[in-house]
Each structure stands twice: as C-alpha cells, then as structure tokens.
Copies of this chain bind each other. A is one copy, B any other.
C-alpha cells in the first residue's frame, strides 16, 4: 500500500465507527482526524460537500459517505470479505446496512443521541424530552421488532461477519451512550447479538477511545486521544476554536 489511509471523523459517530471497524477487521493501517460533526473548517467543506463525516482520504482520492467508503475498502482490500459472496445475501446485507443508516440513524442519532448530547454540547440547547421519549418507547421498538426475527441466535446474520452486523451494532453503541439497552426479555436475539458484536476486538478497541471522547471537552480531545495512543493525523480539519464543555448524556 502506497499511502496510509486517513479518516476524518469523530469516534462518537456510528457512521465513522462502521468505517473504522472495517479498517480494523481488514487490518488496514489508518490515521484519524477526530473532528466533531458540524465543526469542520472551510477546508473540510471542500473535502465533504455535504459537510458529513466520515471522509476517507487515500493520496488524491477523497471519498464521502460511510456506505460508499466501506464498499471501496471491500473492493480495494478484498480479504477478509465483509460482504456475503452470494448476490442475494449481499443484497440483503446492503439493505440491512441501509436500514440501520437510515432508520436507526433517524431514531438513535437524531432523536436520542443528538437530543441528549450533541444539542446541549455543541449548541447549548435543551433536550426535547417528548422527542426522546417517543424515540425510546415507540420508534426504536419498531426497529427492534423488525430486526429480532432477522438476527441469528448465534454468530452472524449471513454466517460470516458482514457489513450488516457491523452497521446494526454501530448504532446500538450510540444507543448505549444515552443509556439505552435492548431489553433481553422482549428482544432476546437482538440483545444478545448487539452484545456479541460490540465484544469483538475491533469494536472493543475503539470503545476505549469513544468512552474517553465522551468525557473530554472538545478542545482537549486530540491531546487526550494522542496520549492514549489513538492513531491521529498530524493536522486537523477541525475548527480551531470551539468553546464547549464535556458532553453530558443521559
């Protein structure tokens, strides 16, 4: 490999986590520029026209969108494969990834994690408790009812670990940040599946950086992560002067 890959994006983003877990599982060296969402500088806008994280940089290639990036990593570094070989199963895996990115993204990220953390942390705004209540008690259960019969009692959805398992588990990690745990009595397969996936070394390695990020004010995150041995880039696309406190959740 000519260039070490760079990922722009914060450890707390489930979309960034998807990409990092793929990199970890494929054993691809990378560096990360852990900018927070919404606080990229002007150069970041040039790299990410929709101002979204993650962004992958490999030499001249600048790539946006976690789904597109994971497909690229699979095409470029095929082993171990994270997509089922059978076209029909591959299609179903891509659909479950899209379902997670889309529906779990709306509910877990925008209506739970954003409300309980990011809104207060970045924008100094209060939590809309009714939005959070509806997300926890009505909208997330819809997803859990959908997933429960589709998840295996043991192992992974399509036999080998795939992008579908990774995506779904990524979002439940953010649910855990706001103290939501899947009820093992109501959704036993999903609860066990999430626990099994998040116990994988690839997720567990990232979890230490995630936990520390949650407890560290934004301006100090780079220094603290560097001290912990996170594989940071030398320069950052993050806005230099955010003045925010620690993210308080739950």
Contact = CB atoms under 8 A, between A and B. Distances in A.
Contacts of A173: none
A63 B95 contact: yes
A244 interface: no
B87 A75 contact: yes
A50 interface: yes
Nearest to A98: B65
A98 B64 contact: yes
Interface stretch (A6-14, A26-34, A66-74, A133-141): A66-74
A88 interface: yes
Taken together, the copies of this chain in the complex come to 2
A185 interface: no
B91 A75 contact: yes
A49 interface: yes
A99 interface: yes
Nearest to A88: B61
A120 interface: no
Contact of A94 (B71, B90, B103): B71
A76 interface: yes
B65 A95 contact: yes
Interface string A140-161: 0000001000000000000000
B61 A98 contact: no
